[in-house]
A and B are shown apart, each in its own frame.
Chain A
Amino acid sequence: MSVFSDWDILRNLLLAARWTVVLSLIAFAGGATVGLLLTMMQVSGRTLLVRFTRLYIELFQGTPLLMQLFLVFFGLSLMGLEVSAWFAAALALTLFSSAYLTEIWRGCIESIPRGQWEASRCLGLSYFEIMRHIILPQALKVAIAPTVGFSVQIVKGTALASIIGFVELTKAGTMLNNATFEPFKVFGMVALLYFLLCYPLSVASRKLERKLNVAR
């Protein structure tokens, strides 16, 4: 039986942390894409589309992420699809983050005064022209800080992928703990690595918020 030195533990955790980062990036990209689509539906003003997105957000914000993971994981295999923990985690996190991002972005778009819509309409701009040239450039600025802030939630959310067997930072932590029986040290290191990933994002979000507030 091999003996794990502190360096071995840290090295293995760092290797696993790569997958936390990759999964976070995929979830963020996926969540942003779906979220953008949903935001467009939400601000379209069509009753059916608005109701659908409301329900979607309510469902994903009102249920545990863990349950969403399980449902995607077991639900897809029920439909006869061979799913890896990898794919299930990426999909569940995408759906989860899209709900939150939609909620954030809708708020940003609605923070642009109604008068600007009306003024643009009077100038004869179409819906898409208004969005493209008037609303989005302003809303984007408001959206940056809370979006960066939410990315912290995504990174932390990836920790749950360990439960369905995806080997990322947390799973590597439990595995190393089983091998070394030094939970204090191992989970301390795991927590520290998550902190190193998330804290810069938190600080950036706060800095951006302050900076963009001054500009306005």
Chain B
Amino acid sequence: MDYTFQFGELLPYSDLIARGVLSTVILAIVTTVLGCLLGTLGAAARAGKQTFLSRAVGVYVELIRNTPFIVQLFFIFFGLPTIGIKLTAGEAGLLAMVINLAAYSTEIIRAGIESIPKGQLEAARTLGLSRTQTFTRVVLPPALEKIYPALTSQCIIVMLGSAVLSQISVEELTFAANFIQSRNFLSFEVYMVITVIYLLLAILMRQGFKLIHYFMFPNLRARS
């Protein structure tokens, strides 16, 4: 293999890459917040009695979990305008990511809720807590704590999945990579650098989640 790597050729494009990183980070943060919130609501709906709502959420979760993200993205970006819902590429991408993460986090958080012993619910009810109070104060905190690692991994997977958004011309990190390699044809160098950036983002995100965990579950600190 006689090939000289020309990583230096990428330097003029550092601005573009930086902007790509920024969009990917913003997408990841917004998706994580909205996705986890919706997931909590979805899990609350799923955990209750078998109502129409809980069934509907169940169907939604199964539909999203059993189809590829890129197809969901194309459906939202290309398909929805034909029924009158027009979205920019960025909006469509964000919507697809939130919908995707919400489905997975619904399932993950539901598993956490189901792991809470029934006795705790009964005790809370006996103490006179309302249904909402029971859910937000007794059930949810330990449930979230239990599934925290799984939720972290899923959020990171969705962040990495955002690479696909370049396919509908959202200007994120992979889009920057595609653009640069179309200019200087150094495809391997470009994708190598971008891959390393994604790896760093994933590591950073994991550390960020650890930090949030530290502040979110203070009672854990006391124990350990």
Of B65, B68, B199, the residue contacting A202 (CB under 8 A) is B65
Asked if residues B3 and A78 are in contact (CB atoms below 8 Å), the reply is: yes
- Which segment of B40-48, B74-82, B120-128 sits at the interface? B74-82
Given the complex, which residues of A lie within 8 Å of B82, measured CB to CB?
Answer: 182-184
Chain A residues whose CB sits within 8 angstroms of the CB of B83 once the complex forms: 184
Q: What distance in Å separates the Cβ of A144 from its nearest Cβ neighbour in chain B? A: 19
C-alpha gap A202/B166 in the complex (Å)? 29
Which listed residue (A65, A159, A163) contacts B71, Cβ 8 A?
Answer: A159
Complex Cα–Cα for A199 and B66 (A) = 6
Shortest distance in angstroms between B60's beta carbon and chain A's nearest beta carbon?
Answer: 12
| Residue in contact with B79 in the complex, picked from A74, A80, A188, CB distance below 8 Å | A188
Is A19 in contact with chain B by the CB < 8 A criterion?
A: no
Chain B residues in 8 Å Cβ range of A188? 75, 79
**B163 at the A/B interface (Cβ < 8 Å)?**
yes
With A70-B187, A184-B79, A199-B62 known to touch, is A64 a contact of B67 (CB < 8 Å)?
no
Decide yes or no: A63 and B160 within 8 Å by CB, A184-B83, A187-B71 being known contacts. yes
Q: In the complex, are the beta carbons of B188 and A71 less than 8 A apart?
A: yes
Inter-chain contact B161/A64, CB cutoff 8 Å: yes
Encode A41-71 as 1/0 by CB contact (under 8 A) with B: 0000000000000000011011111111011
Q: Decide if B174 touches A67 in the complex (CB within 8 Å).
A: yes
* Minimal beta-carbon separation of A208 from chain B (angstroms): 17
Mask for A141-168, Cβ within 8 A of B = 1, else 0?
Answer: 0000000000010011111101100000
Chain B residue numbers with a CB within 8 Å of A160 are: 68, 70, 164
* A194 touches B (CB below 8 Å): yes
Q: Classify the secondary structure of B's interface with A.
A: helix
Size bracket, chain B contacts: 35 or more
| Cβ-defined contact, A194 with B67, below 8 A | yes
B133 CB-CB contact with A under 8 Å: no
Taking a contact as CB atoms under 8 Å apart, the answer to whether A74 and B65 are in contact is no
The proximity string for A residues 171-192 relative to B, scoring 1 for CB distances below 8 Å and 0 otherwise, is 0011001000011100110110
Residue count of chain A within 8 Å CB distance of chain B: 42
Q: How far is the CB of B135 from chain A (nearest CB, A)?
A: 25
Q: A80: which B residues are within 8 A, CB to CB? A: 1
Contact: B70 with A170, CB < 8 Å? yes
Name the residue on B nearest A73 (C-beta): B187
Tell whether, in the assembled complex, residue B163 and residue A64 are in contact, meaning their CB atoms are under 8 Å apart: yes
Nearest chain B CB to A102's CB is how many angstroms away? 15
Check if B207 is an interface residue, CB within 8 A of chain A: no
CB pair A66 B174 closer than 8 Å:
yes
Q: Does A16 contact B (CB under 8 A)?
A: no
Q: Are B74 and A183 in contact (CB under 8 A)?
A: yes
What is the chain B residue whose CB lies nearest that of A79? B1
Task: Indicate if the CB atoms of B67 and A198 lie closer than 8 Å.
Answer: yes
Question: Quick one: which of B156, B188, B194 contacts A75, CB cutoff 8 A?
Answer: B188
With A70-B187, A170-B71: A195-B1 Cβ-Cβ less than 8 Å: no
Contact status B202-A159, CB under 8 Å = no
| Contact among B75, B81, B163 with A191 in the assembled complex (CB-CB below 8 Å) | B75
Chain B residue at minimum C-beta to C-beta distance from A71: B191
* Shortest Cβ distance from B162 into A: residue: A64
Q: How far apart are the CA atoms of A174 and B78 in the complex, in Å?
A: 10
Residues of A within 8 A of B (CB): 58-59, 61-68, 70-71, 74-75, 78-80, 152, 155-160, 162-163, 170, 173-174, 177, 182-184, 187-188, 190-191, 194-195, 198-199, 202
